[in-house]
A = this chain, B = another copy of it.
Amino acid sequence: MPLKSLIALSAVATALLSAGLALAQEPIQPIALVQDINLAQVELGKKLFFDPRLSKSGFISCNSCHNMSMGGSDNLKTSIGHNWQQGPINAPTVLNSSMNVAQFWDGRAADLQEQAGGPIANPGEMASTHALAIDVLASIPQYRIEFNQVFGTGEIDIDKVTLAIAEFEKTLVTPNSRFDRWLMGEPVITEQELAGYELFKSSGCVVCHNGPAVGGTSFQKMGIVKPYQTENKAEGLAGVTGKDVDRFKFKVPTLRNVELTYPYFHDGASDTLAEAVDIMGRLQLGRTFTDEENAMVVSFLKTLTGDQPSFALPILPPSTDQTVRPTPFE
């Protein structure tokens, strides 16, 4: 090998090594690729995620509010449920949600499987029942066959349904954001973005927004330094623990793909990242960011948009003459 090439190689190795060292010291880690997964469950879960027959109306699927075309969210302040009911809280993104310490803003579901059963039977959301949803699925031979292939039995129950949905959701990670590529040594972020990251760390944002998901690992009070003004009725963690000290504590949302998951906060009250950063600074950190600082942080946050999950829209098996029909208007 010519000397020039050896020197070049050595420079690359040194850069990667120092990137590796730097990486270990950063409070945010790159999103790991999905490795251990049950692919058969994923493919079944993908169908179920897109199947509106899990709702009473036959119109609302998991994807309605966790829209995979729109950052795994619905981009609405609060969601639209059965009979156009206004939901009580902003729909969190399903992207990277497997990294959350618990599910829902108040953490009332321990994991993705437990979460998946909630909206199906929530009268304000999909408004079905687990019994009805299972009845519908069990009337469809292609589903019975696929459940049999996946679970070794065609007996469908809600645990198998939610397990498959959760397994699909575990694949919804967004690696290769520019920020992650920078963490791994590629010079793909600008000076402004880097300055935004430094400010994000030095001003204390990173205390809560850390780890691979840049959040999702703890519950924190909304309005630490100054109270948060909202008409939203959500009580947060207190609704789960019954403790007054947990009032207004919410799961810290992931900031991955935050460019796509507007509007922000549990009440969806902030339409823009600039406003959200301003409010967070003042209410959580007691710090008013200048316009320039705000723009720096926002530019950093936009480097957190990763590869969106890409897959073929699933084709659903048709209902049969025996399938209970949806009743949207009853």
**Residues on A facing B (Cβ under 8 Å):** 50-53, 57-59, 64, 67-71, 74-76, 80, 83-84, 86, 259-260, 262-263, 271-274, 308, 310-316, 318-319, 321, 325-326, 328-329
Which residues of chain B have C-beta atoms less than 8 A from A271's C-beta? 321, 325
A74 and B325 alpha carbons, distance in the complex (Å): 12
The answer on a CB contact under 8 Å between A69 and B318 is: no
The answer on a CB contact under 8 Å between B69 and A64 is: no
Beyond A53-B75, A57-B76, A274-B321, list 10 extra A-B contacts (CB 8 Å): A50-B69, A59-B80, A69-B314, A69-B315, A70-B318, A75-B319, A80-B328, A262-B319, A310-B312, A310-B313
With contact pairs A58-B75, A74-B58, A319-B75 given, residues A311 and B310 touching in the complex (Cβ less than 8 Å) = no
Contact of A329 among B86, B312, B319, B328 (CB under 8 A): B86
Task: Determine how close the nearest CB of chain B comes to the CB of A51; give it in whole angstroms.
Answer: 8
A325 and B269 alpha carbons, distance in the complex (Å): 12
A51 and B75 alpha carbons, distance in the complex (Å): 12
Name the prevailing secondary structure of the A interface residues. Answer: loop
A262 and B313 alpha carbons, distance in the complex (Å): 20
Task: Determine how close the nearest CB of chain B comes to the CB of A81; give it in whole angstroms.
Answer: 10
The answer on a CB contact under 8 Å between A316 and B58 is: no
Contact of A59 among B74, B310, B314, B319 (CB under 8 A): B74
Which residues of chain B have C-beta atoms less than 8 A from A321's C-beta? 271-274
Task: Determine how close the nearest CB of chain B comes to the CB of A58; give it in whole angstroms.
Answer: 6
Contact of A313 among B273, B312, B328 (CB under 8 A): B312
Which residues of chain B have C-beta atoms less than 8 A from A312's C-beta? 310-313
The answer on a CB contact under 8 Å between B64 and A59 is: yes
Residue of B nearest to A313 (CB): B313
A86 and B83 alpha carbons, distance in the complex (Å): 10
Which residues of chain B have C-beta atoms less than 8 A from A74's C-beta? 58-59
Residue of B nearest to A74 (CB): B59
Most buried by B among A67, A68, A75: A75
Contact of A260 among B57, B260, B314, B318 (CB under 8 A): B318
Which residues of chain B have C-beta atoms less than 8 A from A326's C-beta? 75-76
Task: Determine how close the nearest CB of chain B comes to the CB of A127; give it in whole angstroms.
Answer: 12
The answer on a CB contact under 8 Å between A328 and B262 is: no
Q: Which 5 A-B pairs have the closest CB atoms?
A: A84-B84, A272-B321, A308-B315, A69-B316, A313-B313
Which residues of chain B have C-beta atoms less than 8 A from A318's C-beta? 70-71, 259-260, 262
Which residues of chain B have C-beta atoms less than 8 A from A84's C-beta? 83-84, 328
Task: Determine how close the nearest CB of chain B comes to the CB of A250; give it in whole angstroms.
Answer: 22
Which residues of chain B have C-beta atoms less than 8 A from A274's C-beta? 321
Task: Determine how close the nearest CB of chain B comes to the CB of A56; give it in whole angstroms.
Answer: 12
A74 and B58 alpha carbons, distance in the complex (Å): 8
Most buried by B among A57, A84, A312: A84
Which residues of chain B have C-beta atoms less than 8 A from A319's C-beta? 75, 262
Which residues of chain B have C-beta atoms less than 8 A from A80's C-beta? 57, 59, 328
A321 and B50 alpha carbons, distance in the complex (Å): 30
The answer on a CB contact under 8 Å between A76 and B64 is: no
Residue of B nearest to A262 (CB): B319
